[in-house]
Amino acid sequence: MGQTQPTKQTTDTEIDVIALQDMYKWFITECPSGLLFLHEFKKFFGINNTGEASEYAENMFRAFDKNGDNTIDFLEYVAALNLVFRGDLEHKLRWSFKVYDKDGNGVLDRSELRAVIEVICHVKKAGSKDSDVSVDEICDRIFNVVDVNGDGHITLEEFMEGAKKDPWILDMLHLDMKPYSWVKEQRRSSAHF
């Protein structure tokens, strides 16, 4: 108690004590039960309950729900934000793979990858240089580079190596939802009430 200043200078990518306290206040205000449910999670990101974005959000929610109780408590919420803020590339890729592996069988097939790419393109609004490239063409390029044994499935190892060796693929597979900016914006808007 009494120490409210962080011991080191913080940047926009670190969670300091004050930000953590603000996140807790926000979390408890928005989730009085102390638990975040799937429908609330989707609402926070402005996602409807149907479509590919909904399925992607459900996979992301399951990846954050470490204990599998179909809710996200504050510790799971902070752990997820910590991964997004400070996780190294390997941890982020492992987490992404887990989110993308919809059936949880340890490999990505073409339909899982296609569903992810559709959502990513929708959310990123596909950069101008790739706007004329179809989802199927993107999937083909990723499979050609990443599926080294050509078996039609991408393993975690193939996924990680492929993303690391090809910056375009890494960019396509990275969905940056800018959560820290979102948390800061929520903090600003709650200060107006």
Domains of the chain, first to last: 17-87+178-187 (1.10.238.10), 89-173 (1.10.238.10)
Alpha carbons 30 and 112: distance in angstroms, whole number: 32
Residue 81 has pLDDT above 60, yes or no: yes
CB 124 within 8 A of CB 133: no
- Given pLDDT bands bounded at 50, 70 and 90, which one contains residue 178? very low
Whether pLDDT at 123 is above 90: no
Kindly state the percentage of the chain with pLDDT values over 70: 72
Residue 156: partners with Cβ closer than 8 Å, 6 or more residues away: 94, 97, 106
Q: Could you read off the pLDDT of 4-34 as tens digits, one per residue?
A: 434 444 444 455 778 788 888 888 888 899 9
90 vs 99: CA distance, rounded Å: 14
| pLDDT digit string, tens, across residues 87-108 | 778 888 887 888 788 888 999 9
pLDDT at 71 over 60: yes
Beta strand pairing call for 107-108 and 35-36? unpaired
For residue 91 the two structure tokens come to 């941890």
pTM, two decimals, is: 0.62
Q: Tell me what pLDDT residue 2 has.
A: 41
CA 185 to chain centre: 18
Q: HEC string of the chain? A: CCCCCCCCCCCCCCCCHHHHHHHHHHHHHHCCCCEECHHHHHHHCCCCCCCHHHHHHHHHHHHHCCCCCCCEEHHHHHHHHHHHHHCCHHHHHHHHHHHHCCCCCCEECHHHHHHHHHHHHHHHCCCHHHCCCCHHHHHHHHHHHHCCCCCCCEEHHHHHHHHHHCHHHHHHHCCCCCHHHHHHHHHHHHHCC
